[in-house]
Amino acid sequence: VELARDDYQRNYHNERNKDKQDCGPIAAIADPARRESCRLSLAAFCVTYFPGWFPLPFCNDHHRVIGKIEDAVLRGMLSAYAMPRGSGKTTISKAAALWGLFYGHRRWCVLIAATGPMGTRMLKDIKSELRTNDLLVADFPEVCQPVRHLQNSPLRARGQHVNGTPTNIEWSKDEIVFPNIVGSVCRESRITAFGIEAAIRGQQAATSFGENMRPDFVLVDDPQTKSSARSESETNFRLEVIMGDVLGLGGPGNTIAGLLPCTIIQKGDLADFVTDPKQAPEWRGERTKMVYSFPKNEAKWEDYFRTRENELEAGGDGSETTKYYLSERAAFDEGAEVAWQERHPGFASAIEYAMYLRYRKPEMFFAEYQNEPVDTKPTDANFLDAQAIVHKQHGYERGIVPPQATTLTAFIDVQDDVLFWLVAAWDPGFSGWVLDYGAFPDQHVTYFTLANIRNTLTGAFPHIGKEGRIFKGLGQLVTHLEGRTFVTHGDQYRHKISRIFIDSGDNTSTIYDFCLQHGGIVLPSRGRGVKAGNTPFSEFRPKPGERHGDNWLIGPVASNRSIRLVQFDANAWKTFVQTRFATSLGDPGALSLFKASTFDHRLIADHITCEAATKTEGHGRTLYEWSNPSRGDNHWFDCLVGAAVAASFEGVSLGQLAVKKPAKPLKLSELQQSRRRAYG
């Protein structure tokens, strides 16, 4: 009897819970005409269903940007738009996400923010509208009625049904799966949120009705922070994620709609890149401003701000100064043109508001409200910046040797868990061509930093100490470089690397041991930062067994090492390499990169321009001293400098007449002779 009573109570509670989990029947659409009027108009969708989000009328800039968003969502295109702070670009983008899914234009939207919490916050805003927006509930009941039934509880999603048919709705912190309502164009559509540094790749899901889904819509919202915008390595890491991981979410052969609302913080940052049609044409960048023409009477505005400061110092709130502005508004506003007349929080007009923002902090105003950041980064006219270097390319593909080159050299920069390497070709007069560069182990990405390398020596050689890992890594890399044959254009002539230098750096004894055991064309090297007040290499008195060259020397075997070491003036050679890059293509001594997209060369350009040059004087000499104040990655710059020193070691000298005829194929005897020169 007791058991029967328990079964009865259990069945009673189950049936009662089942009734509570039934969110049906789904109501009819309250206003089908209103809903249909927004099907192909994002602007109409915004103002119709989100009056709280969009209390002010749109300006012309809004309509232009919204038009590009519509194209992106409807046609599977990309759209990046830099708009002033507070212009509603993120809010419009969130509305676009719902518009795209509600009408079946897209099936799976991935939200990506600068950080994980920011992505979660953006999804939380969307969830709030789905739960509380009565207009959405009325006209999109197939989505919002089951959502409202959850009462914002993820646990209530389990078991939810409509007259016994499961809705399969999901309602978590980082993802929404829309309910499976028969006849709905957005049944089991998804919105997923990430931070840009999360594991984004490989998103796919299967619906309960047999559809295999991949994301077809990405919203990358302001993916940079102020800190990342100031860091070239962070900027390019995020670009690599967006251009590779994010745009690849759709899978092979599938188009993906992409929105990237942003604000330019400084020149060269991520937003500056994606909204520049010359650098990223596929994003169809759009830049808008708060002010398109400033007032003519600057003197009158100076008087305005003096008056305002006096009022604030006296304990006022600025309202009297605003009255002064209104009393002579025509004179104040003459010549001014602002984008959005209706937005002026706390001020009488958009012009007064804009002039206040400009006065308060000009640099921030021009960056975040005008999308025209002032370039505050010091530059030296003698050297190229990263943007110029990525365009400094010769016409030959990766690994192809120009016909006038006679000498190939390589350099390896040793880090604890990865090896950076570079190969360059030179003519006798020091015209140089970067043939190839990379990392060992290969990172398989276009942009990475030492801090976020994916493939490491530790992973390649587990259960071995640091010195052993470096030794084995060098063995494989050097063997590969020595065995590699480089050909000239047309495959007529073949070249081998004639000299490889390895930076002895912080792993001195390991590098010495490796070079001694490997022999051949490999030698250890070390750069010394010779300052203006130091004795230059050119004034060193040769010691027995030493060989001196242009700002370098190779000494004999010493008591603390059993192999000869090449030492060079790092400041002099860094200046030399930077000057070679600044030399125009076609002029003697010009240095250039192999043919590739500018995006692919951004990383090496960042390495090359990472260091700052300071002009110093001493002992009658003027020179540049190089430093790395940002502590950014400069490893391929070191490689290029080392490869240039190796070329000088092999007899290349600035000013020599370049040999015009092609190099002859290397003979085995010549290769063996070049190996023997390592100790002579």
Query: CB count, 10 Å around CB of 143?
Result: 25
**Which of 245, 266, 287 is where one domain is finished?**
287
Quickly list H helices, 519-600. Answer: 570-582
pLDDT score for 661: 36
Kindly state whether residues 314 and 246 are assigned to the same domain: no
**Which of 268, 287, 306 is where one domain is finished?**
287
pLDDT score for 527: 94
Query: CB count, 10 Å around CB of 23?
Result: 21
Identify the CATH number of the domain in which residue 120 sits: 3.40.50
Residue 673 to residues 116, 354, 486, 662, 670, Cα–Cα distance (Å): 58, 72, 19, 21, 5
Kindly state whether residues 564 and 611 are assigned to the same domain: yes
What CA–CA distance (Å, rounded) separates 635 from 434? 15
| Whether the Cβ atoms of residue 627 and residue 408 lie closer than 8 Å to each other | no
Q: Is there a domain that residue 382 lies in? A: no
Q: Is there a domain that residue 378 lies in? A: no
What CA–CA distance (Å, rounded) separates 140 from 36? 11
Query: Looking at 512-668, which runs of residues are DSSP E strands?
Result: 522-528, 547-549, 552-554, 566-569, 591-592, 612-618, 621-627
Where in the sequence is the domain holding 306, given as residue range(s)? 291-369
Kindly state whether residues 309 and 269 are assigned to the same domain: no
| Angle at alpha carbon of residue 148, lines to 145 and 150, rounded to 5° | 115
Helix (H) or strand (E) holding 20: helix 2-20
| Whether the Cβ atoms of residue 542 and residue 556 lie closer than 8 Å to each other | no
Kindly state whether residues 283 and 295 are assigned to the same domain: no
Q: 190-195 and 175-177 as β-strands: parallel, antiparallel, unpaired?
A: antiparallel
Q: Please give the full DSSP string across 306-351, using - where no structure is assigned.
A: HHHHHHHHTT--SHHHHHHHHHTHHHHHTT-EES-TT--TTSSSHH
pLDDT score for 377: 44
Q: Which tokens belong to 40?
A: 């192909």
**Which of 287, 322, 343 is where one domain is finished?**
287
What CA–CA distance (Å, rounded) separates 208 from 211? 7
Kindly state whether residues 230 and 309 are assigned to the same domain: no
Task: Please state the separation of Cα 172 from the chain's center in Å.
Answer: 29
Query: CB count, 10 Å around CB of 142?
Result: 22
- At a CB cut-off of 8 Å and minimum separation 6, what does 518 contact? 474, 475, 478
Kindly state whether residues 334 and 431 are assigned to the same domain: no
Q: Is there a domain that residue 380 lies in? A: no
pLDDT score for 599: 75
Kindly state whether residues 486 and 425 are assigned to the same domain: yes
pLDDT score for 313: 86
What CA–CA distance (Å, rounded) separates 119 from 195? 6
Kindly state whether residues 111 and 58 are assigned to the same domain: yes
Q: Which tokens belong to 273?
A: 């890149």
Which candidate, 183, 367, 164, places its Cα nearest to that of 262? Answer: 367
pLDDT score for 381: 54
Kindly state whether residues 329 and 449 are assigned to the same domain: no
pLDDT score for 389: 93
Q: Domain total for the chain?
A: 3
| Angle at alpha carbon of residue 363, lines to 83 and 274, rounded to 5° | 40
Kindly state whether residues 362 and 404 are assigned to the same domain: no
pLDDT score for 535: 86
Helix (H) or strand (E) holding 124: helix 116-132
Q: Cis (ω within 30 of 0) for the bond into 57?
A: no
* Greatest extent of the chain over all pairs of C-alpha atoms, in Å: 109
| Whether the Cβ atoms of residue 656 and residue 429 lie closer than 8 Å to each other | yes
CA atoms within 13 A on the CB side of 385: 10
Give phi and psi for 460, each to the nearest 5: -75, -35
Q: Is there a domain that residue 379 lies in? A: no
Which candidate, 240, 207, 203, 206, places its Cα nearest to that of 223? Answer: 240
Which candidate, 46, 49, 106, 43, places its Cα nearest to that of 74? Answer: 106
Q: Is there a domain that residue 394 lies in? A: no
What CA–CA distance (Å, rounded) separates 313 from 315? 5
What CA–CA distance (Å, rounded) separates 516 from 504? 12
Q: Is there a domain that residue 374 lies in? A: no
Q: 566-569 and 552-554 as β-strands: parallel, antiparallel, unpaired?
A: antiparallel
Kindly state whether residues 271 and 311 are assigned to the same domain: no
Q: Is there a domain that residue 473 lies in? A: yes
Mean pLDDT, 10 residues at a time, the chain of 680 residues: 56 56 93 98 98 96 97 96 94 98 97 93 96 97 96 92 94 96 95 91 91 95 88 87 91 90 89 92 95 91 89 93 97 97 96 93 86 62 84 94 96 97 97 97 85 90 94 97 91 90 89 92 94 85 88 83 90 95 93 90 91 82 83 93 98 64 38 35
Q: Cis (ω within 30 of 0) for the bond into 25?
A: yes
Q: Is there a domain that residue 389 lies in? A: no
Query: CB count, 10 Å around CB of 148?
Result: 18
Q: Which tokens belong to 553?
A: 């020397």
Residue 294 DSSP symbol: -
Kindly state whether residues 350 and 421 are assigned to the same domain: no
